[in-house]
Every structure is written in C-alpha cells, then in structure tokens.
Amino acid sequence: MTVRAFFDLVEIKTKLASLFPFMIGTLFTVYYFHMFDFMNTLIFFCSMLIFDMTTTAINNLIDYQKAQADGYKQEVNIIGKARISEKLVITLIFAMLAAASLLGILLVFRTSILLLFMGGLCFLIGIFYTFGPIPISRMPLGEAVSGMTMGFGIFFLSVFVNTESGLLLDLIYQFPNFNVTGNSLLLIVLLFVSLPLVFLIANIMLANNLCDLEQDISNHRYTLPYYIGKKRGIQLFNILVYASYIVVVVAVLSTLLHPILLLILLTLFPIRKNLQKFNQAQIKEKTFVIAIKNLVLFCGAETILLAISLFL
C-alpha cells in the first residue's frame, strides 16, 4: 500500500472535522478558564487523530464489504480502486485502534478515571458508527451523532484534559458508593459554545448523504435525506449554517466570547455564495466539498479570532 493510498483509506483530508473542535476547544480553555496543559493536549491530539483515522478506515472497509453494486466496489471505494487487500486493512485498523487506546489510557492516568468512561463511549460510538448489523451511518441518526460526538465531544474533551480535576466533572468513590458531580452551568456553556462545530460537522455528513442519496438507496443505506426528502435536507443544510452565526453572536452578547469574534460575520459573504451553489446541485464530485469549505471558512476564522482574543 502506498502512502497516498493509506491517506485515501483514512480520508486524511476530512480530518479537519476533528482538528477544528480540538483547536477551538483548547483555545477556549485558555481564554475562558486560563488553563493549559501541553502534555495532556499533545497526547489527546495524537489519540484523537489516530482514532478518527481508524473509524474512517472501518467505514471504507464496511462499505466495501456490504456494497451491492460492483461498480462502487471497484471504481469508487478506495479498497477496490487501489486493490488493497482486506487483510491488510483489518491489520491497520487493529494497529491504529491499539495505538489510540494506549494513548487514551495514558491520558486517564494523567487526568481522571472519568476520562476512561467518556473516551470509551466515544470509542464505541466511533466503531459502531460504521460497524454492526445496523451501523449508525446507515440510519437517519448519522448527522446528529457525528455532530455531537465530534463537534461537542472533542471540544469538551479538549477542555477537560486542560482544566483542573473536578472543575467540570468529578468522580467521588468510597466503597461501595460512588458519585459523579459536576458544574451544570459550565457544561451548558461548553455545549452552547460548541454548537457551531456540531452544526457544521453534521452538515458534512448531511451533504455527503444528499449527494449520495440515489447511490445509498441502491446499496440499502437509508440515511436522513431518504426520510425527510432532498428538499428539506437542503433546507436543513442552510439552517444549520445560519444558526452557527446566531450562536456566536449570542455567545459574544453573553460575554462567553470576546467581541472580536463578531468579525466572523465577514465570512457570511463567501459562505452565502457556497450555499447558493450547493442549493443548485448536490453532486459528490463538485458540490460536496462546499460543506468542508464552509467548515474551514467558519471554524478557521473562529480559531484565528479566538487566538487573537487571548492577547486582548
């Protein structure tokens, strides 16, 4: 397998969907909580990235094995297209899963036992997103699950590994009893600030499903656009983008974010043009990338503005 084939297998270009929640979560921690742990951040980043690549490889393997159309297996899916052996793909999946797990366990020892349960839940969602008799990605829940797991989950864990123990959540254990305590107000703040990430990451899945609707039906994949229809799916795609701007404005007015974040409204002009193009045609090779462009424009601007706010 070539390096390029490996990158295609794990779809390295789509890793921005996990990189932005990580960066924005880390920067927000420094801005809002005035805390930062370099080693914890580095370990979490490596574990998160490797596991993200693992789930993508699992997705491509399952899609290849369950594909009903031969044209898809040999001309679209990277495993058939690059003639990669299934055995090699499975070996890579287990190797990456082991590496991500070991890094996660190391982080548990450095932070809190709660991270074991939270990280374990993310691992299970990531694996069963594409694996099992009825994978989440083949259900109408794919957008919501991917948005919450990556948009909020990665953002939250980026904050959790950088803040002092017990600030957000804590596990108090005295045999035979245990209690989980936390600050509900801070958890609501984190959820609200992460909503643009949730919406825009969900939109990547939604755009993919809108573009692949006919192909998915032929391969017995019944995603959200199948149930709500293509027209409403496109409307939802637009609503989630505009809702992201509303969240930032409200967060600034609520003093959760620095006023400089209002400059993110300038990205509305190119993003509106992107939405117009997507509304006209939903073609995988031409317009799917618009969902990723919107994520890069919005979250890239948010990352830069958050970094600037640290100096203000």
* Domains of the chain by residue range: 3-309
What one-letter code names the amino acid at 53? M
Mean pLDDT computed over 136-147:
84
Is residue 72 pLDDT above 80, yes or no?
no
Which two structure tokens, joined as six digits, stand for 225?
A: 């656009």
Question: What's the rounded Cα separation, in Å, for the pair 213 and 229?
Answer: 10
Is residue 194 pLDDT above 90, yes or no?
yes
Give pLDDT, residue 178.
82
Give pLDDT, residue 28.
97
What is the share, in percent, of the chain residues with pLDDT greater than 70? 96
Tokens 């031409």, residue located = 286
Question: What's the rounded Cα separation, in Å, for the pair 113 and 152?
Answer: 20
What are the φ/ψ torsions at residue 182 (nearest 5 degrees)?
-170, 170
Question: For residue 172, what are the β-bridge partners?
Answer: 179
Give the DSSP letter string of 212-254: THHHHHHTT---HHHHH-HHHHHHHHHHHHHHHHHHHHHHHHT
**Cis peptide bond prior to 176, omega within 30° of 0:** yes
Is residue 71 pLDDT above 70, yes or no?
no
What are the φ/ψ torsions at residue 179 (nearest 5 degrees)?
-135, 140
Which two structure tokens, joined as six digits, stand for 278?
A: 């997507």
| pTM of this prediction exceeds 0.75 | yes
What are the φ/ψ torsions at residue 282 (nearest 5 degrees)?
-115, 85
Mean pLDDT computed over 117-130:
83
Q: How far is CA 55 from CA 238, 263, 283, in A?
A: 27, 35, 24
Give pLDDT, residue 82.
79
Question: What's the rounded Cα separation, in Å, for the pair 99 and 91?
Answer: 12
The residue among 112 and 137 whose pLDDT is bigger is 112
The residue among 162 and 55 whose pLDDT is bigger is 162
Length of the chain (residues): 312
**Cis peptide bond prior to 140, omega within 30° of 0:** no
What one-letter code names the amino acid at 94? F
**Residue 62 · residue 126 · CB < 8 Å:** no
Residue 105's closest CA among 95, 97, 115?
Answer: 115
The model's confidence at residue 103, banded by pLDDT at 50, 70 and 90, is very high
Residue 28's closest CA among 143, 144, 168?
Answer: 168
Mean pLDDT computed over 217-222:
74
Residue 16's closest CA among 300, 308, 232, 312?
Answer: 300
Mean pLDDT of the chain: 89
Give pLDDT tens digits for 235-281.
999 999 999 999 999 999 999 999 999 999 999 999 999 999 999 98
Give pLDDT, residue 125.
86
Question: What's the rounded Cα separation, in Å, for the pair 216 and 208?
Answer: 10
Task: State how far Cα 14 lies from the chain centre.
Answer: 9
Query: Which spans in the chain are helix H?
Result: 3-9, 16-28, 38-66, 70-75, 78-81, 86-110, 114-128, 142-146, 155-160, 184-211, 213-218, 224-228, 230-253, 268-280, 289-309
What one-letter code names the amino acid at 199? F
